[in-house]
Structure 1
Amino acid sequence: MVISLGESQLEIRDTAKNLGILFDSQLSFTKHVSKIISQSYLKLRHLYQFKDLLQTRIKVQLVETLVLSIFNYGDCLYGPCLNAVDKRRLQVIQNCCVKFAWKVPVREHITSYFKELKMLRLDERRFLHYSCLIKKIIDTQNPSYLYNKIEFRRNAHSRVIPNSNDISIPRHTTAAYETSFSYLVSHIYNQLSPQAFQTSLAYFKEKLKK
């Protein structure tokens, strides 16, 4: 299929890059995951040259700044769309970061090291980031095109009903809809207590992280 715009023909591509995020035609973000994994392995490989020269605290700061920050960028966008395989691929990188920081033997489990570092796994980090994004949108009512998608039950009913501070869950018939902002804002907000969203952002983030 060819799309014409005036006298020009637009080339159809399977992927497009916008603000550093690779969008594919299926919105699976698999190619974006492959890209950031490649970038992360390259940075981690350079860090391994100094694994015996640096203290654990410094190594943690380095992986947070140089490696894990790559996953933080745009995770509220691509995170909800990830399949189980891509989630696992990303988590392997974070596991490598922890092993680098603590010199963990290859076959040893690293759960205890995550607890020692007080480091959230990537799925927990994405949940934290998305929750903070929701709070910012509710507090500032910006951007308006996202805030207008939030429908509190207290505004939808004239009478007092149980859980009136909850956000109404939109009706949907497909699993793909559950990756949308309209669904996730209701799912996450209702999962937490409405009172939690009435605190400051810094307090909210700290308590949720704990």
Structure 2
Amino acid sequence: MLFSIYLLPVGDIVRRFGLDFHCYADDVQLYLAFPADNTGVVEVLEQCLGEIRSWMSRNWLRLNQSKTEVLLIGKGPVCRNLRVSFSPPVVDGEALRLVEVAKSLGVLLDSELSLEKHISSMVSIGFFHLRNIRRLRPFLPHDSLATLMHAFVSSRLDYCNALFAGLPLKLIHRLQLVQNAAARVVKNVSRFDHITPVLHELHWLPIRWRITFKVLVLVFKSLNGLGPEYLRNLLTPYTPARPLRSLYGNLLTIPRMRSKVGERSFSFSAATSWNALPFDIRSSPSLSMFKSSLKTHFFCLAFNDV
């Protein structure tokens, strides 16, 4: 907390140059949206980074240029051409590294935000831990085995999984294969057995429902003053043009998007999933009751044929 207060002037510097930022301890991320034909972006970044470097020098800190990376995000041929011709900012006579993938708090962000590399990494790590846990299965009681599985596999599948909302089903299926394998290890069933009854017995929501669950928990927190303000600003309560019953339905406005990528945004996917919930769940009086009702609702939807 004290270190975050110590870094507060960095935010003032960034705002002065018209950039946005996120900070987590000593990790500072600057970001700026601009059209591909804007040639003045590099100069603005250089000036901003120069000011930050000077402030750090005056306050007994150091900008680690070897760990400072530039990631250009965009889709289409125009953006791909820009990545080829883009000259990264120069700070103290040294050009920063232009990367195709950058790690942000454990998430691998690629230049098209496809998250394919991050999911590949999750799948690889998940199966690595599964192989090790499978070797321990003959020596562990069921409760200990389940605890290990949650600690090393399930927790990784759930980490930042709200980012997976709207991803192609083929990517979600890869994560589902990891969860299926984990369930088979815990229940000691063959890989040829049908997995749905196993997940139902373990009371594990499938991956696609866990993703929506996380998104909706963030929505509930944001609407009730329990979440960050920048997420709350992305949600707009629905107000009909004339008095209707939906006026009191606690609904959200779904923004119009021009592409499938836009439909992956929090403002769109969160509002769409929220409006699809029954009114009594949206109107839950507390976070604990909301989570409980939401999981029961999703459990019924996921296993309605079991």
* TM-score, normalization by structure 1: 0.91
Q: Is contact 2:166-2:263 (8 Å) kept?
A: no
Which residue is 2:106 aligned to? 20
Give the length in aligned residue pairs: 207
Q: Which moved more, 1:1-10 or 1:32-41?
A: 1-10
Give the whole-Å Cα distance in 2 for the aligned partners of 1:36 and 1:85.
15
Give the whole-Å Cα distance in 1 for the aligned partners of 2:113 and 2:124.
20
Which residue is 1:46 aligned to? 132
Give the whole-Å Cα distance in 2 for the aligned partners of 1:168 and 1:174.
18
Q: Within the alignment, does 1:138 sit opposite 2:223 as a pair?
A: yes
- Partner residue of 2:289 out of 199, 203, 206: 203
Report Cα offsets for 1:159-205 as digits up to 9, x if no partner: 41341232111122211111001101210110013432332111111
Which residue is 2:214 aligned to? 129
Deviation at 1:141, TM superposition (A): 6.2
Q: Is contact 1:29-1:81 (8 Å) kept?
A: no
- Partner residue of 2:243 out of 152, 160, 163: 160
The residue type paired with residue 139 of structure 2 is L
Question: What secondary structure is seen at the aligned counterpart in 2 of 1:51?
Answer: helix
Which residue is 2:150 aligned to? 64
Report Cα offsets for 1:82-118 as digits up to 9, x if no partner: 3222211111111110110111112111211111111
Give the whole-Å Cα distance in 1 for the aligned partners of 2:166 and 2:236.
23
Give the whole-Å Cα distance in 1 for the aligned partners of 2:237 and 2:226.
13
Give the whole-Å Cα distance in 2 for the aligned partners of 1:149 and 1:193.
22
Q: Is contact 1:141-1:147 (8 Å) kept?
A: no
Give the whole-Å Cα distance in 1 for the aligned partners of 2:243 and 2:181.
52
Gaps of 5+ in 2: 1-84, 297-306
Distance 1:81 1:191, change over 3 A: closer
C-alpha root-mean-square deviation of aligned residues, in Å? 1.7
Asked which structure has the greater CA Rg, the reply is 2
Give the whole-Å Cα distance in 2 for the aligned partners of 1:34 and 1:208.
29
Gaps of 5+ in 1: none
- Specify which structure has the higher proportion of helix: 1
Runs of 4+ aligned structure 1 residues displaced above 4 Å come to: none
The residue type paired with residue 153 of structure 1 is Y
Report Cα offsets for 1:48-106 as digits up to 9, x if no partner: 112122233332222112111011111112x1253222211111111110110111112
Which residue is 2:173 aligned to? 88
- Partner residue of 1:98 out of 180, 183, 206: 183
Identify the structure with bigger relative contact order (alpha carbons < 8 Å, sequence gap 6+): 1
